[in-house]
Structure 1
Amino acid sequence: MSLEKLNTVLAAGYENFPKGRFISLVVLRTTHSETIFRTEGSGEPMSSEFVQAGLTDETIIPRLVMTKRKQIAPERRYGREFLRSHNLLYTKTVKDQGEVVCSLNTNKPCEMCIDCFLYGFAAGGGGAQKSRIWTEDAFSVLPANDILGTRTINAIYENGTMRLKREEDTKASQSLIPDGEYIKPGVHFLDVVTLKDVTADELRYIVGNILFTSRYGAVSSRVGRMENQILGVFGSITELPSSLELVQATYDALGEPLEHPLNINRVITATKQVITNWQNRRGVSVQLSDEELANLITDVETHWSEAERDTFLKRLSQSYEPFRQIQPEKNKGKGKGKNKNTQVEVEN
């Protein structure tokens, strides 16, 4: 079994109370097309923060930010596609609506599916489940001004030109879509994802969501193609260094020159050089070797394969059966005791 080395930090089964078992994934995310990460609407600048360039290089630079929700939301939706196709999303009785299938951003979590048990929910009158996938902002390796581009797009009519009628030929061309920023292809983000008290099958489910999700950010049906690679897996009794510390240490290890496009093999080598030293950090008990990591990924791909996926997902879903409780709908009272069904988790 490829997960044997992680047995000391894997839970034998789902438990309601935490027991201090951490598994951390070091993830390299690389854009393979133009990509847009912003927190506001169209036309807003890309999400960025001014931070120190490295741990030893004290220069202050702007770095692009892939916020935690921009990571989790697409990965969560990817997993839910297969829960839906294998009939593993549960229903919830809602007043005046009857049985409603579990759905994100509708204030109607079923509280019983794999997604709810792993990624969490909060619903008034129905309890809560804290997410066991801990994320933080991922930062670009290079400064923002080196990896951003702008483009103006022509507004073409259905006749294939920028003029609607022939008699308008003497007039100026019709409107252009204003300049908009985008992240260039070949940009690298580094990230640390922490899993808390997960089982072997839960680990397979989460890693599969990360490896197989391929679209992120705004306008993901047109742009936002991204590849995720797991460069390291650690077991510990505490969290690893933050994503910011990781990208700063990698920046130092890369040395000069640093310019876009940055060779991905160079980034991988520098990152692995940094995380090799994490084996000796306080609280770390397990680090998978390159061969063990490759075996883990092969194991995940096997369980997610067409031949094994149904058995795998149903086995994982069945593991929560002792903890599933159907919550009867409560009548809304008056005054301060009034219950409101509210889901806190918001997905972009």
Structure 2
Amino acid sequence: MSIQKLQPFLAEQYENFPKGRTVGVVVLRTTQSETIFRTEGTGEPMCSEYVQAGLLPEHDASIPRLVMTKRKQVAPERRKGREFLRSHNLLYNAPKGDTICALNTNAPCEMCIDCFLYGFAAGGEGAQKSRVWTEDAFSVLPATELIGDRTINAIFETGTMRDEKGNASTALNTSEYIKPGVHFLDIITLKDVTADELRYALGNILLTTRYGAVSSRVGRMENRILGIFGGIAELPSSLELVQGVYDKLITDGKSLEHPFNTDALASATQTVIANWVTKRGISLQLSTDEQNDVIADVDRHWSPEEQETFLKRLDESYAPLRKVKSEGKKKGKKEE
């Protein structure tokens, strides 16, 4: 089982103090529908930044690239995992009050899988730093190629754009959207995680399919893992990866027009990251077969037949930490 090859970079059990073990994951995120990534409300432009096009001197011109911010990645993935924790009664009551652990309520339970892995801070009696490190993901092509406009109209209950008196409906607003088939390259770093925590985090990435605003209508996305690394340091940044892939595509004479072939992009990306084992602090890259075995292992553990056993086993691995917290609270009360 190829996940065992990553064992030198995995923790045997959860520990409070970091020990410099990292597993890096390269993810290709491809929009499958219109998608909206913005920081403000309706009508605001898509998130984008001007950055250098490539790493080579001849590609040093600045271009606008779409940005999928770190929070827009990790929040939907956390919610996906929490769906299954909730279905198996693996979310706990917050320390203060009787509310079940939930995001954005300032009342984390501090005891569930999500709290231990993704961290918590606000509202609790302590803090836990996330061991799933993310960063902004960038589009490969310029933003100007990837954005369209959509006009939203008001439809009456008759199903038409005219009311009972025959008056025409007016446009509500015009909003930007990201086109289907847009590619974002992303780096995710897992710090001092156990094998089951690795399965949990990868499962959240592979199972999450909706991102951004209005995700009940748009925002469909496919996540594809292109590389898994082990080491004592982080992988190069998402921006460096995108710039390296841009250089590779230009050097190969590819026409960078939307829509761009996903398999061609994946191949170019895998060529670029194949050299990363020479980077300082990166010791191991799984082969394609080993990577596929890890993904198959994740799929098996998340299957309906094994999901409950897997999640309860991971949940029970934190039991000693919960006991320590509980004893600490009792001791504090006696001292008062």
Smaller-chain TM-score range?
over 0.9
Q: Is the 8 A contact 2:38 2:44 kept in 1?
A: yes
**Equivalent position of 1:75 in the other structure:** 77
Write the distance in 2 (CA, Å) between the matches of 1:67 and 1:124: 24
- In structure 2, give the amino acid aligned to 1:142: L
CA shift, 1:177, in A, is 2.3
- Whether 1:108 aligns to 2:107 is yes
Q: Is the 8 A contact 2:149 2:174 kept in 1?
A: yes
2:243 to 242, 248, 251: 248
Greater helix fraction, Structure 1 or Structure 2: 2
1:91 to 68, 90, 93: 93
2:316 to 294, 303, 318: 318
CA shift, 1:138, in A, is 0.2
CA shift, 1:144, in A, is 0.3
User: The residue matched to 1:101 in structure 2 has which SS?
Assistant: coil
Write the distance in 1 (CA, Å) between the matches of 2:81 and 2:278: 34
* Segments ≥4 residues shifted beyond 3 Å: 326-329
The TM-score, its normalising length taken from structure 1, stands at 0.90
CA shift, 1:124, in A, is 5.1
Write the distance in 1 (CA, Å) between the matches of 2:260 and 2:161: 38
- Whether 1:177 aligns to 2:172 is yes
Write the distance in 1 (CA, Å) between the matches of 2:192 and 2:228: 15
- In structure 1, give the amino acid aligned to 2:201: I
- In structure 1, give the amino acid aligned to 2:282: V
**Equivalent position of 1:214 in the other structure:** 209
CA shift, 1:99, in A, is 1.6
CA shift, 1:328, in A, is 5.0
2:295 to 297, 307, 317: 297
Q: Is the 8 A contact 2:95 2:124 kept in 1?
A: no
User: The residue matched to 1:91 in structure 2 has which SS?
Assistant: coil
**Equivalent position of 1:339 in the other structure:** none
- In structure 2, give the amino acid aligned to 1:46: M
Write the distance in 1 (CA, Å) between the matches of 2:315 and 2:266: 35
Q: Is the 8 A contact 2:23 2:228 kept in 1?
A: yes
2:188 to 172, 190, 193: 193
Write the distance in 2 (CA, Å) between the matches of 1:59 and 1:293: 35
**Equivalent position of 2:132 in the other structure:** 133
CA shift, 1:160, in A, is 2.0
The TM-score, its normalising length taken from structure 2, stands at 0.94
Work out the number of aligned pairs and report it. 322
Q: Is the 8 A contact 2:277 2:285 kept in 1?
A: yes
Write the distance in 2 (CA, Å) between the matches of 1:220 and 1:262: 24
Write the distance in 2 (CA, Å) between the matches of 1:106 and 1:160: 39
CA shift, 1:161, in A, is 2.1
Q: Which runs of 5+ in 2 are unaligned?
A: 331-336
**Equivalent position of 1:2 in the other structure:** 2
**Equivalent position of 1:158 in the other structure:** 157
- Whether 1:64 aligns to 2:42 is no
CA shift, 1:253, in A, is 0.7
Write the distance in 2 (CA, Å) between the matches of 1:131 and 1:153: 39
In structure 2, the CA distance between the partners of 1:3 and 1:125, relative to structure 1 (3 Å rule), is: closer
Write the distance in 1 (CA, Å) between the matches of 2:259 and 2:124: 51
Q: What percentage of residue pairs aligned between the two structures are identical?
A: 67
> CA-atom RMSD, angstroms?
1.3
Matches within 5 A, 1:24-39: 24-39=24-39
Write the distance in 2 (CA, Å) between the matches of 1:54 and 1:231: 20
- In structure 1, give the amino acid aligned to 2:206: L
Greater strand fraction, Structure 1 or Structure 2: 1
CA shift, 1:285, in A, is 1.0
